[in-house]
């Protein structure tokens, strides 16, 4: 048995407190630096507010195969100008905690700054591959997803994106928590909360593409339909420019499940 004298105990406690204070002081300085970094860099940041209206259907062929489709219309609040119209289609294979998907995204970009409007939409064709892992933590679900976007973006507005485009490879990682809040008598979750962080990196011009923070709620209506509403904060660098978008997005979604098996 080791006996520690009161003097040594006080000295050890004092040393631990001093070390803790030093760590807290360093964390404080780091936070102050990060807060001041945007001002120090004098970067141009455009603050914008948008709303996204989305319809998603999921065609379920079997317990392991399903086909996911999304139509997403994205507009600015003021002035009410079109920002992007995007369509996703992916086939998924789900086994245990793993989910593997591949498919195609079609996108049309309109205005990036609503006050300037637009006279042309830029088309994009995007083959996509992704893998997700879902880890239960009690009643909470911790989900991780890695998505690879192969972006073929229209380069010449006088030619189709299928004829003339430039290629950008983008990697996306998302960490997400899905928290059930309320279940019904059939033990089906009827209200759930989802919070997530996603970062995107590309291989050309600026490496940092954008980051997103999600906070959404899903409300179960029937076995076929759910409603989702929530908030997304996007911090995005304009491609090849030292200019950024700080976007507050409010999204409303209709989720439609169609059982085919």
Instruction: State residue 81's pLDDT score.
Output: 97
Q: Which of 10-24, 37-51, 210-224 has the lowest mean pLDDT?
A: 10-24
Quote the DSSP letter at residue 120.
Answer: -
pLDDT greater at residue 205 or residue 85: 85
Res. 200 pLDDT band, cuts 50 70 90: very high
pLDDT at 224 over 90: yes
Whole-angstrom CA distances from 39 to 27, 30, 163 are 20, 15, 42
Q: Is the pTM above the cut of 0.75? A: yes
Instruction: State residue 17's pLDDT score.
Output: 47
Q: Extract the tokens encoding 246.
A: 């700080």
Please check whether residue 219 is in contact with residue 226, taking contact to mean a CB–CB distance below 8 angstroms: yes
pLDDT at 39 over 80: no
Average pLDDT for 54-67: 97
Whole-angstrom CA distances from 156 to 2, 60, 207 are 78, 39, 24
Beta bridge partners of 243: 44
Instruction: State residue 157's pLDDT score.
Output: 87
Say what the alpha-carbon torsion angle 196, 122, 112, 90 is, to the nearest 10 degrees: -10
Q: How far apart are CA 241 and CA 85, in angstroms?
A: 23
Backbone angles phi, psi at 81, to 5 degrees: -125, 145
Q: Which residues contact 46 (CB under 8 A, 6 or more apart)?
A: 113, 243, 244, 245, 246
Instruction: State residue 246's pLDDT score.
Output: 97
131-156 burial string, b = 16+ CB within 10 Å, else e? Answer: ebebeeeeeebebebebebebbbbee
- For 75-123, the pLDDT digits (tens) are 999 999 999 999 999 999 999 999 999 999 999 999 999 999 999 999 9
- For 6-30, the pLDDT digits (tens) are 554 444 444 544 554 555 455 555 4
pLDDT at 35 over 80: no
pLDDT at 33 over 80: no
Q: How far apart are CA 227 and CA 238, in angstroms?
A: 32
pLDDT at 244 over 90: yes
Instruction: State residue 36's pLDDT score.
Output: 45
- For 169-194, the pLDDT digits (tens) are 999 999 999 999 999 988 999 999 99
- For 128-161, the pLDDT digits (tens) are 999 999 999 999 999 999 999 999 999 988 899 9
Average pLDDT for 190-217: 95
Identify the H or E element spanning 125: strand 122-137
Q: How far apart are CA 253 and CA 216, in angstroms?
A: 10
Q: Where are the alpha helices (DSSP H) in the chain?
A: 6-41
pLDDT at 54 over 60: yes
Please check whether residue 256 is in contact with residue 225, taking contact to mean a CB–CB distance below 8 angstroms: yes
- Beta strand 243-259 with 44-60: parallel, antiparallel or unpaired? parallel
Q: Extract the tokens encoding 9.
A: 């105990």
SS3 258: strand
């Amino acid at each position: 048995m080791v006996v520690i004298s009161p003097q040594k105990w006080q000295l050890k406690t004092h040393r631990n407190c001093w070390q803790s204070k030093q760590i807290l002081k360093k964390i404080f300085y780091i936070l102050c630096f990060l807060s001041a970094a945007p001002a120090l860099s004098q970067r141009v940041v455009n603050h914008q507010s948008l709303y996204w209206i989305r319809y998603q259907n999921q065609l379920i062929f079997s317990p392991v195969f399903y086909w996911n489709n999304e139509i997403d219309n994205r507009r600015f609040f003021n002035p009410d100008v079109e920002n992007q119209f995007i369509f996703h289609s992916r086939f998924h294979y789900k086994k245990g905690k793993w989910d593997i998907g591949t498919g195609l995204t079609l996108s049309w970009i309109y205005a990036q700054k609503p006050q300037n409007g637009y006279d042309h939409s830029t088309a994009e064709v995007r083959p996509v591959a992704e893998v997700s892992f879902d880890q239960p933590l009690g009643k909470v679900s911790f989900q991780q997803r890695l998505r690879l976007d192969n972006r073929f973006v229209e380069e010449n507005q006088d030619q189709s994106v299928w004829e003339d485009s430039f290629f950008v490879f983008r990697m996306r990682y998302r960490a997400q928590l899905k928290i059930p809040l309320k279940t019904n008598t059939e033990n089906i979750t009827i209200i759930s909360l989802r919070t997530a962080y996603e970062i995107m990196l590309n291989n050309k011009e600026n490496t940092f593409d954008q980051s997103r923070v999600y906070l959404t709620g899903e409300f179960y209506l029937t076995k076929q339909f759910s409603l989702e509403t929530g908030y997304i904060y996007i911090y995005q660098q304009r491609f090849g420019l030292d200019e950024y978008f700080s976007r507050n997005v409010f999204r409303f979604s209709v989720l439609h499940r169609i059982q085919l098996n």
